[in-house]
Structure 1
Amino acid sequence: MLQVVQMCFRRQLCRSVASAAAGGAAPTRRSRVAAARGLTRGGARSCTVDPNLEEQFVFLDCVDLEEPNREEKDLVNHLKAACVPDPGPDPGLGLGIGFGLAPPQNHPRSLERQLQALKVENVQEEKLDSLIQFHDADFPLDESLVASKKKKKKKKGKGEHRVFGTPDVDEPVSDTCCSGCGAMLHCTSVSVPGYLPSEKYKKLLAEDGLGAATCQRCHLLTHHHQALSLQVTRDQYRDVVRRIRPLRALVLLVVDLVDLPDSIVPDLPELVGANKHIVVLGNKVDMLPADAPNYLQRVKRQLTQYCQDAGFGEQVTDVHLISAKTGYGVENLISRLQRSWKYSGDVYLVGSANAGKSTLFNTLLESDYCKSRASDVIHKATISPWPGTTLNLLKFPIINPTPHRMFRRQERLQAESEPSQEERRRLKRFSQQGYLVGRVGRTFRPSVRRSSEIEFDPDSLAFGEDDDGDMIKPTDNSCKEELSHNELKDARWLYDTPGILKELDVLNVLSDQEVRLVVPSVALIPRTFVLKPNMSLFVGALFRIDFLQGNASCWFSVLTSSRIPIHVTSVEKADEVYEKHAGNTLLGVPLGGRDRMKEFPALVPQEFRLEGRGYLEAAADITLSSAGWVAVTAVEGDQLLLKVHGPLAAGSRLRTPPLLPRIVSLKGERIRKTPAYKQLKWQPDKRLLGGGTATSKKK
């Protein structure tokens, strides 16, 4: 471009000099400049420019051949009138050059239009690149699918996702389960659990590789965070759990502490049998802030009472508070299971959907509770915030807790070893997501023995087995092979069962993207607001709490996902705010504006009455289904009337006593001229990796 401008500059200069010399006219300013430059001795033209002379270059827009607009026409006419006429047309360049001209009144927009044209070209290139669809070269697509890429994409509905590959209804269903969710693998129908595209399914079947494959749904959940809608009913999930009834087994009931008591399966004895021992595991304890000293003991007592109220009776043999995500309390749980249940039978993880069973399954798979070689062979379970991810039974073999192994494990737990670099990164990551963090290690690891050496292990000779009780073949690739028949002949198994879907759950009325916003995934930071009577508090556009009657102000501490906005207004304006902002940025969830709110169920009101217990103790909790809860703190003896609006399918309730009664003490300073208080950002005590107190600081 620079060379073109220079050539045009020289050509225009020569033409101006020649025109002035031929006509004998008075030398103009432009001709004087050209004459002052002169010619070189060799006849070559000089490009010397007077430094005192200001030059202005105007580039006319020639990006397309459309008719120029009015502004551009005026600019061209202005240039023609001010500049010396060009004796010869130069259609190939399409630009004009003016020397020493005063800038026009209307600043030319040609440069802006050229930049805009370049942006359009870049966007077009990006769009063309986005049409390039990458797929596995080993699984070629049908010609019909390749041709269909040129067609207009249809609007995707709820739970839909465009995937490549075609089903084959003539191909029989395999007898191999998906290693992620447990469904039988097949290629007959997209909407049936365990589906794989026929191109991939047939190739894996021919290569005998279905054993390590995951279905299309697990792949999308793990790598793309998208859920496919499946034709699975609540009764089908429950039927899988009913298989436990005639078996000798131990039941580990996983309970979501954020959703107490709704996450407790009410008819558990009917599903698993009244003769089963039940160990209750209060999961997600890492999300609960410490509102007072010894708060964990209080939460444990309250969880035990809820289980008794559910009718479990003497079936409950133990209660633990754990975090399957951060590992808090998991080592203690393993030690108790190895001492009490030992190797008496299989163990089943049971609980409601989204309670964290699959996360606990993956954590135990990498611990001393699993056979050492099995963790390298068995695929981890698929985990996601959407309920109903696990569709069938997943399992791994349990290690036999012999006295020798128990002694070696106890030695490892008592030794204060320095965490490795990888473990430090893990602890640092989890310390930013939860209040309580624990370490889960492994005492027994698979050993690899060379075939050219003969090793004598006194422990192996004494007990007739190696560290894990497995007869490992002398090969370098033993860790990657499947478990042998002798290793699994008399093994006991831990099973991950499908989650029991709740009848009343706010997640049932939310889309996939909204579920990810509503379900808490990190530690809950309380957000406290002070409300006077006749004020309303919105939890997104999902729930609305009206403070109708009371003698004094009350504190409302919201413990939900931080991605759900909280808005406070008067009761008179509440309906108008909901009508105007539901589905938009102010209320956040649901998403999609008016079109989404047309499909969202109407909010149904229900009234609650409660009595205040003082400024330092919450009177009750208003549970918001799987989204969390709101703790209400009022003056002692004050009679309150609250009206809670929410979807009928959510099933909000009044929880007394509250789970964290002193949660109001975790508020910061009052924000001036607002009903809100500053939040306290909590950080775990890094010296107490297995739990303990936490420190706080203001945001």
Structure 2
Amino acid sequence: MAENQVVVDGEIIHCIGCGAKVQTNDKQALGYTPKSALEKGLASGEVYCQRCFRLRHYNEIAPVSLSDDDFLKLLTSISDTDSLIVYVVDIFDVNGSMIPGLHRFVGDNPVLLVGNKLDVLPVSLKKNKVKDWLRQRANAAGIRPIDVDLISAKTNQDVDHLLDQIEKYRKGKDVYVVGVTNVGKSTLINSVVKQSTGIQELITTSRFPGTTLDRIDIPLKDGKHLVDTPGIIQPEQMAHHLVGKELNLVTPQKRIKPKEYQLNPEQTLFFGGVARFDYRAGDRKYGFTVYAENNLYIHRTKLSNADGFYTKHVGHLLTPPSQEHVADFPALEAHEFKTTQKSDLVIEGLGWITVPSGVSIVGWAPKGVAVLLRPAMI
């Protein structure tokens, strides 16, 4: 929560739309209002936070974050409802976008798992394989989804199908949309609103009554609501270690074009300065296929030179992080594996490298960012 609450004549100013305490410091926190808008609001006697202003004038859901404690309180309240849970995760950062212990908070409510950012999947990747893998990851986290859907909120791809799925599974109940920050949840909500208005008229978009500081209730035709909940901050996401334009060089922006590298044992690939892949040992030279943001700089070097090369060039040749950000960027941690089948080495939030069977490899990522091995998806 932001600390610089606006106080006038000894009284804390609240947004008249949602009741949040108005603040001008943190754009991602509740109650944020630009100083210029605050001055106009104080003059008129109607102060709205930016989130409510966008909602009121543009039918636009703006992202907002809650602290872990506040979010857990909200999750606990969901378990007391009779509703459908739409759980949104990022296809390219599944581990980082999982909500720890979600299964304990949703109670007996059914969960529809939605993988977002379908538009950046390589053409060669089959949707059914992605669905199966997502279901397996959810099961490992203790979640048993009633179904798995893949969409692109950014391009509206398959959002109409998701609407059909929501209507199929909610059975006259309220719908809660949950997810961590940076998974595109608010983009999805906005896409649902626009898509529904033009196609199925599932959602009434003229007004959004019931707006509170921790949720937005979007009325459905039958009197129930689609509830947008604030995103919880997941510090293990790769995105939280990057700033500004750095994020666009790591997070896929368009459909990924796979790149193949012929590597001998004891060779290394650097992914800018945010990750690293070592081919430690194997019988021979192999082809390794990289699935990552098309504009991310990838540099090949000898394993024996890798540590010194990184120290010398991070923030310069190896970017992101930028030179200004190097001092604050976490050290890369090593994760060692030996494959027994064709596999994908996944660096969550970055992408993956497809590797052959019978090789010793190491994936490096910022401390706290997950690196894992899975059966090859392609």
Distance across 1 between alignment mates of 2:250 and 2:320? 8
Percent identical residues: 29
2:110 is aligned to: 277
1:640 is aligned to: 359
User: Any gaps of 5 or more consecutive residues in structure 2?
Assistant: 1-5
2:237 is aligned to: 505
The structure carrying a bigger helix percent of its residues is 1
2:30 is aligned to: 193
Closer/same/farther in 2, CA of residues 190 and 327 from structure 1, 3 Å limit? closer
The structure carrying a bigger strand percent of its residues is 2
2:339 pairs with 1:625: no
Equivalent residue in structure 2 for 1:364, among 192, 196, 209: 192
Deviation, 1:339, is 3.8
Deviation, 1:266, is 4.2
Closer/same/farther in 2, CA of residues 539 and 310 from structure 1, 3 Å limit? same
Equivalent residue in structure 2 for 1:172, among 9, 12, 15: 12
Distance across 2 between alignment mates of 1:395 and 1:567? 48
Q: What TM-score does the superposition give when structure 1 sets the normalisation length? A: 0.47
Q: Within 5 A, what are the aligned runs for 1:15-414?
A: 168=8, 170-174=10-14, 176-177=16-17, 184=20, 186-187=22-23, 190-191=25-26, 193-196=30-33, 200-201=37-38, 203-204=40-41, 207=44, 209-210=46-47, 214=50, 233-273=67-107, 275-291=108-124, 295-313=126-144, 316-342=145-171, 344-368=172-196, 374-377=204-207, 392-400=214-222
Distance across 1 between alignment mates of 2:343 and 2:315? 29
Deviation, 1:217, is 12
1:493 is aligned to: 225
Deviation, 1:642, is 1.1
The Cα offsets for residues 421-442 of structure 1, whole Å up to 9 and x where unpaired, read as xxxxxxxxxxxxxxxxxxxxxx
| 8 Å CA contact retained: 2:119, 2:152 | yes
Closer/same/farther in 2, CA of residues 359 and 215 from structure 1, 3 Å limit? closer
Q: Alignment partner of 1:333: what SS?
A: helix
Deviation, 1:323, is 1.7
Q: Count the aligned residue pairs.
A: 362
User: Any gaps of 5 or more consecutive residues in structure 1?
Assistant: 1-165, 382-390, 401-490, 614-618, 662-699
Deviation, 1:171, is 3.6
Distance across 1 between alignment mates of 2:307 and 2:71? 39
**Structure whose alpha-carbon radius of gyration is higher:** 1
Cα RMSD, aligned residues only: 3.4
Q: Alignment partner of 2:232: what SS?
A: coil
- One-letter amino acid of the structure 2 residue matched with residue 396 of structure 1: I
- One-letter amino acid of the structure 2 residue matched with residue 306 of structure 1: R
Deviation, 1:591, is 0.3
1:651 is aligned to: 370
The Cα offsets for residues 653-688 of structure 1, whole Å up to 9 and x where unpaired, read as 22x123x32xxxxxxxxxxxxxxxxxxxxxxxxxxx
Q: What TM-score does the superposition give when structure 2 sets the normalisation length? A: 0.83
| 8 Å CA contact retained: 2:203, 2:220 | no
Greater relative CO (CA pairs within 8 A, separation 6+): 2
1:544 is aligned to: 276
Q: Alignment partner of 2:365: what SS?
A: strand
| 8 Å CA contact retained: 1:550, 1:639 | yes
Closer/same/farther in 2, CA of residues 335 and 650 from structure 1, 3 Å limit? closer
Closer/same/farther in 2, CA of residues 260 and 555 from structure 1, 3 Å limit? farther
2:335 is aligned to: 606
Distance across 2 between alignment mates of 1:596 and 1:218? 32
Distance across 2 between alignment mates of 1:556 and 1:576? 24
| 8 Å CA contact retained: 2:282, 2:360 | yes
Closer/same/farther in 2, CA of residues 210 and 610 from structure 1, 3 Å limit? same
- One-letter amino acid of the structure 1 residue matched with residue 136 of structure 2: Q
Distance across 2 between alignment mates of 1:582 and 1:296? 36
